[in-house]
Amino acid sequence: MQVLILGGTTEATALAAALAERAEVAPILSLAGRTARPATPPIPFRIGGFGGIAGLTSYLKRRNIQAVVDATHPFAARISANAVAACLQAKVPLARFTRPPWTPQPGDCWQRVPTLAAAAAALGRESRRVFLTTGRLDLSAFRQAPQHRYLLRTIDPPAEEDVPPQCDVLLARGPFDQAGEEALMRQHRVDVLVSKNSGGGAGRTKIDAARALDLPVVMVERPSAEPHGDEFTALAPVLAWIQAHGDAPSVRKAPSLREIP
Ligand code: NAP
């Protein structure tokens, strides 16, 4: 059974590792190619865009894909919308595997905003020391708020023209523990954290550190997503879903010896 995993997340990596063990499934992991040196996946993979909805639809047909799991990041809205449309057109079942969003806990001080531009505006007019953890893309919003001093943490270097004027760039790949996050925020005398509401355990430590240090958080909420038929937040039900579609009568299976006349 050919399964396409749309990846670039820890969820996709976990699913790829689990499917690598299953002989009855032939998975392909698809990465956008944003990260310069992604960890080598344990299953066959491809890198780069498909060419919009039409490109993805034709890929699904050409490769005889029988199920798609969209395990992309909750903020990767375009590929998720493309997957919904392409799977409809190619008549391929689609499931979404994502992490639940974070919710504020007692002691958290969050200002929730819908976009990065709104996050930049929410920082206010007075100069503040901002820990920016929203990634290296779409930084231009913060160039509109040059009064602040930024500590920007990203995996790969941002394009120079996107970086706000007063900005220290820290290149680092998680996971980060809470003690380290607190030490970093103290060292840079951070006043406010800006984060996407990505969800998941690994990224949560910066939010926990902000709470421990009594720092406010500007939280960029997720873009609204196209409805997906089946949505999961844990690995086991995704594996069961794949199994169920492999067993479905519409899926072509190699005939067993007993079926040969
Ligand atoms: P996006 O805006 O939703 O997608 C832009 C285009 O990139 C898509 O139209 C598609 O190109 C291509 N693309 C995206 N994900 C792909 C994948 N897994 N395989 C093949 N092509 C893909 O996506 P994004 O926000 O730039 O995110 C890109 C990748 O980084 C995703 O894999 C996502 O899981 C990961 N990521 C994103 C974030 C974030 O905050 N956005 C954070 C961590 C990881 P075509 O139209 O040509 O097919």
What digits encode the pLDDT tens for the residues 205-252? 999 999 999 999 999 999 987 777 799 999 999 999 999 998 644 333
Q: Please report how the helices 52-62 and 77-90 are oriented relative to each other, as an axis angle in degrees rounded to 10.
A: 50
Q: What is the pLDDT of residues 174-212, one digit of tens each?
A: 999 999 999 999 999 999 999 999 998 888 999 999 999
Tens of pLDDT, residues 111-139:
999 999 999 999 999 999 999 999 998 89
The closest residue, in CA terms, to atom 22 on ligand 1 is 32
SS3 110: strand
Return the residue whose CA atom lies nearest to atom 36 of ligand 1.
73
CB crowding 186-201: b at 16 or more within 10 Å, else e = eebebbbbbbbbbbbe
CA distance 209 to 182: 5
Q: Which ligand 1 atom lies nearest to the CA of residue 81? A: 3
> Does residue 260 carry a pLDDT above 70?
no
> What average pLDDT is seen over the chain?
92
pTM: 0.89
Round to whole Å and give the CA distance between 246 and 240: 10
pLDDT at 176: 96
For the segment 65-92, the average pLDDT, to the nearest whole number, is 96
How much is the pLDDT for 37?
A: 79
34 lines ligand 1 (CB under 6 A): yes
- For helices 178-187 and 204-212, the axis angle rounded to 10 degrees is 60
pLDDT of residue 228: 73
Q: Which of 29, 68, 69, 73 to mutate to test the pocket of ligand 1 (most atoms within 8 A of CB)?
A: 73
59 lines ligand 1 (CB under 6 A): no
Q: Is 79 in the pocket of ligand 1 (CB under 6 A)?
A: yes
- Cα–chain-centroid distance for residue 228? 16
113 and 219 Cβ atoms separated by less than 8 Å:
yes
Mutate to test the pocket of ligand 1, among 46, 47, 78, 84 (most ligand atoms within 8 A of CB): 78
Return the residue whose CA atom lies nearest to atom 40 of ligand 1.
75
Instruction: Check pLDDT > 90 for residue 106.
Output: yes
Angle CA(6)–CA(9)–CA(15) in degrees, nearest 5? Answer: 65
Rounded CA separation 16/20 (Å): 6
Cα separations in angstroms, 221 against 134, 179, 188, 202, 224: 11, 25, 25, 18, 9
* CA 165 to centroid of ligand 1, rounded, Å: 27
Burial classification of residue 255, based on how many CB atoms lie within 10 Å of its CB (0-12 exposed, 13-18 middle, 19 or more buried): exposed
For the segment 21-45, the average pLDDT, to the nearest whole number, is 91
CA distances from 115 to 11, 40, 200, 222, 239 (A): 24, 32, 20, 8, 33
